[in-house]
Amino acid sequence: MTSPAKGYAAGAADTPLAPFGFERRDPQAGDVVIDILFCGVCHSDLHTARSEWAGTSYPCVPGHEIVGRVKSVGEKVAAFAVGDIVGVGCMVDSCGECPSCAEGEEQYCETTGFVGTYNGPDPVLGGHTFGGYSDHIVVDQKFVLRIGHDEKDLAAVAPLLCAGITTYSPLRHWKVGPGQKVGIVGLGGLGHMGVKIAAAMGAEVYVFSTSPGKRDDAIRLGARDLIVSTDAEQMQAHANSFDFILNSVAASHDLDAFVALLKRDGTMTLLGVPEHPHPSPTVGNLIFKRRAIAGSLIGGIAETQEMLDFCVEHDLVSDIEMIGMAQIDTAYDRMVKGDVKYRFVIDMQSLKAAA
């Protein structure tokens, strides 16, 4: 059985998003029904809606940085109650049994792959999943997060559900902490959370940016300085000095310029998934200093809860610009230009007027 939902969808790669009516499943025993209050706008939403990656199913309702209020729960749900403030991130299901799921790394599910909050195979209704640019969502309790922040901060909490965990997870995995020099490449949605979290973990943080005008913000967010990545002299001054670099750039670019800044045994972890591949990195830069280029995908559910609790403890939220649902295409266009300070968040009340 289903009930009607309202959302905003891309009908094709080259058409603007528009109001879209669809069906959500009625809650099963383990499900939580969530009225969506706010949804962050991730660059992955844009990549998917505009079919920059292969495999977008249309109509596509993006959105995987969801904060909302529990409207109802299934009979087997004990951890959540009506009225609770909760979050949903990039995943709504996984096999639950493979080694990765068993270790709480559901994002690396080895059998079915995790089910994306949007554009994934809907395990109950068939077809594909619809995300958070909508009035409500029905999610298995295992993929619902508790939000401990003040209610006044909820819009700025939404981006933690993707940008927060995607930066927190690799910073933890590569054991970033005091005494380390850490670089964050690209000061956008992911990047600005990377700065805040790495600084809260005690690292000395530098931002690499193509936008010199973001320097004051970078320092306010917790960085020592902003290095203009297109300025060879500024880059050279930091050669061989970084323990770890987190690269959030959403477009194809030269990786060698950043690898050269790593110390011996340093790692640069890639988060961005550009439409076109990066030029192949120079092998000599890696082997002569045992440097590594790695990748990292969001984070598991338990780690997402840990990140949310860390952000409460350290008083961290995103810097956001609130938009109405109908402004989504303008927001995407600004995101392509790097003109985001530093995450757009949709006030889902605006859906009523827009839909």
Give the interface with Zn ion as residue ranges (CB under 5 A).
42, 44, 162
Q: Which residues pair with 209 in a beta bridge?
A: 228
Q: Is the dihedral of CA 149, 151, 153, 156 positive or negative?
A: positive
Q: Is 200 in the site for ligand NAP (CB under 6 A)?
A: no
Phi-psi region of 321 (alpha: psi -120 to 50; beta: other; left: phi over 0): beta
| Of the candidate residues 131, 189, 222, 266, the single one contacting ligand NAP (CB under 6 A) | 189
Neighbours of 330 (CB within 10 A): 12
Nearer to Zn ion, 42 or 66 (CB): 42
Q: Is 335 in the site for ligand NAP (CB under 6 A)?
A: yes
Q: Is 234 helix (H, G, I), strand (E, B) or coil?
A: helix
**Judged by CB under 6 A, which stretch of 124-132, 173-181, 243-251, 303-311 contacts ligand NAP?**
243-251
Nearer to Zn ion, 77 or 335 (CB): 335
Nearer to ligand NAP, 232 or 273 (CB): 273
Provide the b/e sequence for 198-207 (b: ≥16 CB within 10 Å).
Answer: bbbbebbbbb
Q: Count residues contacting ligand NAP (CB under 6 A)? A: 30
Least distance CB 353 / ligand NAP (angstroms) = 26
| Of the candidate residues 272, 304, 307, 351, the single one contacting ligand NAP (CB under 6 A) | 272
278 DSSP 8-state letter? P
Joined tokens for residue 115: 């089910």
- Angstrom distance (rounded) from CA 328 to CA 334: 10
Half-sphere exposure of 98 (CA within 13 A, CB side): 14
Q: Is 234 in the site for ligand NAP (CB under 6 A)?
A: no
Q: 286 to 305, contacts with ligand NAP by CB under 6 A?
A: 296-298
Closest CB to ligand NAP: residue number:
188
Half-sphere exposure of 22 (CA within 13 A, CB side): 26
Q: Is 124 in the site for ligand NAP (CB under 6 A)?
A: no
Measured in Å, how far apart are the chain's first and last C-alpha atoms?
23
**Judged by CB under 6 A, which stretch of 19-27, 135-143, 236-244, 268-276 contacts ligand NAP?**
268-276
Nearer to ligand NAP, 73 or 187 (CB): 187
Q: Is 134 in the site for ligand NAP (CB under 6 A)?
A: no
Q: Is 232 in the site for ligand NAP (CB under 6 A)?
A: no
- In angstroms, the Cα distances linking 253 to 48, 193, 239 are 20, 21, 18
| Of the candidate residues 144, 249, 268, 348, the single one contacting ligand NAP (CB under 6 A) | 249
H or E element at residue 173: helix 163-173
Identify the CA nearest to 131 among candidates 227, 246, 5, 28.
5
Nearer to ligand NAP, 262 or 340 (CB): 340
> Can you spell out the DSSP letters for 130-163?
--SSBSEEEEEGGG-EE--S-GGGHHHHGGGGTH
| Of the candidate residues 67, 85, 101, 190, the single one contacting ligand NAP (CB under 6 A) | 190
- Angstrom distance (rounded) from CA 339 to CA 341: 7
| Of the candidate residues 56, 119, 134, 211, the single one contacting ligand NAP (CB under 6 A) | 211
| Of the candidate residues 210, 234, 285, 327, the single one contacting ligand NAP (CB under 6 A) | 210
Draw the binding track, 45-84, toward ligand NAP (x: CB under 6 A; -: no contact). --x-------------------------------------
**Judged by CB under 6 A, which stretch of 109-117, 139-147, 206-214, 317-325 contacts ligand NAP?**
206-214
Binding site for ligand NAP (CB under 6 A): 42-44, 47, 162, 166, 186-191, 209-211, 214, 248-251, 253, 271-273, 296-298, 335, 338, 340
